[in-house]
Amino acid sequence: MTTVRLKIHGMDCAEEVAVLRAEFSRLEGIRELGFDVLNRKLTVEFDENRLSLDDVKSTIDRTGMRHEPWSETAAIPVAGQSQWSRLAATAASGLLLAAGFALNTGQAGFYGGLTGGGDSSTAVKALYVLAAICGAWFVVPKAIRSVQRLRPDMNLLMTFAVLGAFIIGEFLEAGTVAFLFAVSLALESWTVNRARRAIAALMSLTPETARLVGNDGSDAIVGVEKVPVGSTLVVLPGEKIPLDGAVSKGETTVNQAPITGESLPVTKSPGNQVFAGTINQDGAIELVTSKAFEDTTLSRIIRMVGDAQSKRSPSEQWVEKFAYYYTPAVMALAIAVSVIPPLLVGSWSHWFYQGLVFLVIGCPCALVISTPVSIVAALTAAARRGVLVKGGEFMETPARIKAVAVDKTGTLTEGQPEVRSIVALSGHTEAEVLAIAAAVELRSEHPLARAVVRAAELAGIRPQPASDFQATKGKGATAIVGDKSIWLGSHRLLEERGQETPEMHQQLETTERDGSSVIVVGKEEHVCGLIALADRIRPQAAHAVSALRSVGVQHVVMLTGDNKGTGEAIGRQAGVDEVRAELLPEDKVRAVGELVERFGTVAMVGDGVNDAPAMARATIGIAMGAIGTDAALETADIALMGDDLTALAWLIHHSRRTVSIIKQNIVVSLAVKAIFVVLALVGHSSLWAAILSDMGASILVTANGLRLLNGKHWVDRGN
């Protein structure tokens, strides 16, 4: 498979996306299409054995749109030459229409001018014709291409309406329809640019240059895209951090709100990770870069928000399908209105005019624009809040969440367990037990393993090298240390091996009830000791669970592979409804499946890696604390960039508000259409009134959708 990315000039709204999608649907070998309207980016994945790049380009050429190679460093287009040209043509149309109306009013009086009573004047007709030409300047070429594709669209409907008005001598109507439609398109362009500006503001978080430290210790200002991985940068107080990396010198506090939505600055010292786009507040620091410009967390967020436009929500799919059948149906009805009544009652001119009104009604501008605008605004507001939603299809789902399953480690707890106590058995000392365990755990990335290794380092213990390391998910691990086979793992593993004594069982039960996780360390012949570890619950965990209930979540369950005692202790502190402990990965999948059968729409919140199977089984997978975690960004449907679980309650509220606004927009759009269908059928409508109402509806639904850019309409009732 080959993937190509192109910048498409002229791809400004859902209409052009539909055109491109229709053209590419005729080709064999297309595997996937991605449309990023905000950036005018088209991504095409195709079978190079069946198609070539030239085939892709020629398909785009047939639509009349222009293309060029895509550049990741190119700025988001906010207001290009085509937008200004469209605005100029619209303004010229309006001025010519006003001039014609003024001249006509002078000749026939105000009422005569309003009704076209002075249309006999050649000068007035000329002004109205010029107004129509300017208003339809960007419409007619698209109408011609829609005829060539045998796919009628709103441009064709408007062109027919204008030409029909000229045919029956309604010059004022023709000019007015062309002007008002041009205004409607200009408003749509402005809407898309408003969303583009919001994303451009996100992109502008990353500075264009970085202060690079050379081998001789001197500083040089270079473009961020030219900084190699592993370079040393200096960041002064008040400056934005240009690239992801780790602090190597200095201490400071960093405002991470642009990425995570956190309100409080985070202290950073040598060894701590920092991220592009965040703001250095207090002290000068040096950092060693870990990622190139195009791979930084912020760059990935920007790309994902852009790519999200191609993943249509259920509402967008419904609107597109409705418009696909609606437009041809209205055209057929317009022909019927123009022909059938005159055959029965006469008055061809009157009913032909009403048929033209139907053509205007057939333009689904407000309906088509309402949902994409709302989704783009909602996605952008979520990104600002530190919530990365992978597409419109996932923007609506949280509104229906009835149950939430959360992993324990790193979600309800801080994910930084510490060794609390060591119990030495079978003649071993505490130091020996810790050394044996650390030798095995050096090969593991599990949070408990890292805690054991840290404890050994603090105690000055240097573990022996281990070989033949084998991990058993959810149970433990084995390895050869020296010439001995060592095993370590959970209480369950100890029971399975048959090496547990009643005294040992009692001690394990007591330790686990206190909220500690226990690692049992043993050899083939005996148990060497027990290591108790504890992970602190997040300060906001109980509040986050309460906030979920405040937004209508019926059931919150904690899923953990940890022992039952520890799980229940953490569950009580967090206030969850149910605790399921000692779960293997497949057990978590089964538990989530049971929740889906019981509640319908279920979210699974985890770290995006170990919980991937359970996330996939849930209706929607949510990664917690995904900042800087590539795997989490890729795995989940939604990523909470910060460590604040209350962001999930905000997301549910935001999703419900999004769905509500989308429904409002659809109802308003269809209601306006229904009213004018009835008026046209009884012969009491006009072209300019129909287009004016449609334009008004477009303005209304656009403004309503853009309200979602403000994601602060949520009162946290979790307290």
CATH number at residue 50: 3.30.70.100
**Residues 319, 303 share a domain:** yes
**Residues 499, 444 share a domain:** yes
Is the Cβ–Cβ distance between 127 and 136 less than 8 Å? no
pLDDT value for 404: 95
**Residues 375, 340 share a domain:** yes
- For every residue of 267-311, DSSP letters joined together read EE-TT-EE-TT-EE-SS-EEEEE-S-GGGSHHHHHHHHHHHGGGS
DSSP symbol at 409: I
DSSP symbol at 117: T
Q: How many CB atoms sit inside 10 A of residue 313's CB?
A: 25
Catalytic residue among 407, 535, 643, 694: 407
Is the Cβ–Cβ distance between 292 and 242 less than 8 Å? no
User: Residue 289's beta-bridge partner residues?
Assistant: 245
Is the Cβ–Cβ distance between 125 and 171 less than 8 Å? yes
3-class DSSP assignment, residue 221: strand
Domain ends where: 534, 569, 590?
A: 534
With b for 16 or more beta-carbon neighbours within 10 A and e for fewer, the 560-598 pattern comes to bbbbbbbbbbbbebbbbeebbbbbeeebbbebbeebbee
Assigned domain for 58 exists: yes
Closest CA to 396 of 313, 319, 308, 305: 313
What is the share, in percent, of the chain residues with pLDDT greater than 90?
A: 20
Q: How far apart are CA 57 and CA 6, in angstroms?
A: 9
Conformation bin of residue 38: beta by default, left when phi > 0, alpha when psi is -120 to 50 = alpha
**Strand-pair category, 285-289 with 232-235:** antiparallel
**Residues 691, 669 share a domain:** yes
**Residues 220, 193 share a domain:** no
pLDDT value for 312: 65
**Residues 304, 273 share a domain:** no
- 716 tagged catalytic: no
What is the rounded average pLDDT for all residues in the chain?
Answer: 81
Number of domains in the chain: 5
pLDDT value for 111: 46
Is the Cβ–Cβ distance between 357 and 687 less than 8 Å? yes
Do you know the residue count of the chain? 719
Domain ends where: 69, 94, 117?
A: 69
And the tokens for 576?
């969850």
Closest CA to 568 of 556, 555, 558: 558
**Residues 354, 254 share a domain:** no
3-class DSSP assignment, residue 140: helix
Closest CA to 13 of 419, 320, 221: 320
Assigned domain for 428 exists: yes
And the tokens for 226?
């030219």
Terminal alpha carbon distance of the chain: 52
**Residues 219, 124 share a domain:** no
DSSP symbol at 78: S
Q: How far apart are CA 393 and CA 388, in angstroms?
A: 13
Q: How far apart are CA 664 and CA 508, in angstroms?
A: 58
Is the Cβ–Cβ distance between 275 and 244 less than 8 Å? yes
CA distances from 624 to 59, 260, 308, 409 (A): 42, 11, 19, 11
Assigned domain for 276 exists: yes
Q: How far apart are CA 669 and CA 694, in angstroms?
A: 8
Assigned domain for 505 exists: yes
Whose tokens are 């906030």? That residue is 547
CA distances from 220 to 217, 226, 236, 268, 536 (A): 10, 12, 14, 24, 44
pLDDT tens digits along 29-39: 888 887 776 66
- Which residues, given as ranges, of the chain have pLDDT below 50? 75-79, 110-115, 117-119
Whose tokens are 């048959």? That residue is 498
Q: How far apart are CA 520 and CA 505, in angstroms?
A: 11
pLDDT tens digits along 303-320: 776 666 556 667 777 776
Assigned domain for 562 exists: no
CA angle 506, 509, 512 (to 5 degrees): 150
DSSP symbol at 223: E
**Residues 330, 247 share a domain:** no
Q: How far apart are CA 611 and CA 636, in angstroms?
A: 10
Closest CA to 406 of 712, 631, 716, 647: 647
Q: How far apart are CA 615 and CA 612, in angstroms?
A: 5
User: What helix, strand, coil percent values describe the chain, rounded to 5?
Assistant: 55, 20, 30
Closest CA to 117 of 161, 172, 165, 177: 172
CA distances from 17 to 21, 41, 312, 391, 669 (A): 6, 11, 11, 16, 21
3-class DSSP assignment, residue 245: strand
Q: How far apart are CA 338 and CA 355, in angstroms?
A: 5
We report the CATH number of the domain holding residue 260 as 2.70.150.10
Q: In what order do the strands lie in the sheet with 252-255?
A: 266-268, 252-255, 279-280
pLDDT value for 196: 60
User: How buried is residue 178: exposed, middle or buried, by Cβ count under 10 Å (0-12/13-18/19+)?
Assistant: buried
CA distances from 18 to 37, 318, 459, 672 (A): 12, 13, 65, 24
Assigned domain for 512 exists: yes
CA distances from 402 to 314, 399, 407, 600, 602 (A): 19, 9, 17, 7, 6
Is the Cβ–Cβ distance between 461 and 494 less than 8 Å? no
What residue type is 667 in one-letter code? V
Assigned domain for 598 exists: no
Q: How far apart are CA 702 and CA 696, in angstroms?
A: 10
Helix residue spans in 71-116 (DSSP H): 81-115
**Residues 448, 422 share a domain:** yes
Domain ends where: 235, 267, 295?
A: 295
pLDDT value for 400: 93
Q: How far apart are CA 230 and CA 22, in angstroms?
A: 46
And the tokens for 620?
């929607």
User: Residue 531's beta-bridge partner residues?
Assistant: 422, 519
**Residues 427, 307 share a domain:** no
And the tokens for 212?
């690079």
Q: 443 is in which domain, residue-wise?
A: 418-534
With b for 16 or more beta-carbon neighbours within 10 A and e for fewer, the 331-346 pattern comes to bebbeebbeebbeeee
pLDDT value for 202: 60
Assigned domain for 696 exists: yes
pLDDT tens digits along 318-363: 776 777 777 778 778 888 888 888 888 777 887 888 887 777 776 6
Is the Cβ–Cβ distance between 337 and 362 less than 8 Å? no
CA 385 to chain CA centroid, nearest Å = 12
pLDDT value for 384: 80
We report the CATH number of the domain holding residue 508 as 3.40.1110.10
3-class DSSP assignment, residue 555: strand
**Residues 44, 10 share a domain:** yes
Whose tokens are 């404890």? That residue is 455
pLDDT value for 352: 83
